[in-house]
Structure 1
Amino acid sequence: LDRWRTAVRRAAAAVSRAGVLRDGEIASIKFAMTRGDELDHAGPTGWVLGFAGADPSAVRAAGVAAVVLDRGYRHDVMHTAPWLLQGAKSLAYAVNQAALREAARRGADDVVFVSADGFVLEGPRSTLIARIDDTLVTPPPEFGVLPGTTQGDVFAGLADRRTAIVPVTREDLRRADALWLCSSTRGAVPVRALDGAALAIDHELTARMNAVLDARED
């Protein structure tokens, strides 16, 4: 852990020193770990990449258009087929990138995955928050979704709102009066349209969510 902390701090400092960041942009850090080359057995290797993330203010205000795509497995796959490693961010992003290309082909910006049996999962690069019956809800990690640290910070920071981690069906998604896609690089981004149907953007609550997230660095 000490080596990782040192590498992350060096990468962040290097991005800042290079003058890469413009006003509004944020430094993003990605790190990866591999068990090593299967041929020389040199042992685990890790690396850290620091880069400038785009200013999220415009997309936070305008929102994104998303489409619903079938992820291709049941919601209980973590229990019925744990060897598929759903919920582990450990394999290639090929499916996620292909899904985003399909969204672009349909004229949309992003994706909401659902399971083959109709339960909402997550986005290719985000966690979903839906407002249903005046409660902010997100799907449980038991459905094979990656636990969202950004979503968790939003829920923790909105103590005056009802929040819940509960199963969300595709029908629930249709009756939600607001949706957000949360990620570490963009914060809470509202969904302005889902499968071509317009959704209202709650600008006030979106601003509150992102104020909570942006304050984490203070």
Structure 2
Amino acid sequence: MQDIRLRIAVALVLTLSAFFSLTGAALAFLWWIAWSGKVSEIIRMRMILPVAGMLAFFSAILSLTGGDGISYFLRMMVIVLIGSWVYAEQKNGEFLHFGVWLLGNRIGFELGMLADMAMQTLHLMVRDFETIRVAQALKGAGPAWKTLVPAGLILVTGALFRAEHTAEILAVRGYRNGGSLCPKFCTTRGDIYRCMAVLCILLITIIPVSEFFILYR
């Protein structure tokens, strides 16, 4: 989706549908397969695997304590996939335009810039993670879990260093708060179709299928 406003709205609706209903999760998953457009890129993101493992762990605990762990795992995995789709679709500067459009040139500019900086940091952490993984494979470091803590320290240290460097640049340039920006968005026909499909998913999630037959009668 080209328009970040519609993308965020779609992500929120799909997340709520998947969270509150297994039917909504199934429909959101079908939407993700049909409309995400970057399925192969998201599947290649190996950081999803640790998240899936963590969800499986909590789902097992939930099942052992009498809860519906399978339903929880499926719904949460769909939410993770939706979040991964938003991450894969994100482009530089989009959150800044969205923030200014939503909250104006002061608060919106601040929040939008922070969101863009956070996404840039996340992109760099993913790149660093892939570099660390390749280096470990070349050195024959053994099981990945043995180097998990050192790798995590490297990622956190790198993120803190970049944040400090960015803060210094903003201070040197005299930045205080807010800014001036004319937000621009590109809304395509495909974006509208995707939104219409999401609205149908929301209606089906809110109104059970049986209610449609009652209304029909």
TM over 0.5: no
Higher strand content, 1 or 2: 1
TM-score by length of 2: 0.24
Higher helix content, 1 or 2: 2
Highest relative contact order (Cα 8 Å, sep 6+), 1 or 2? 2
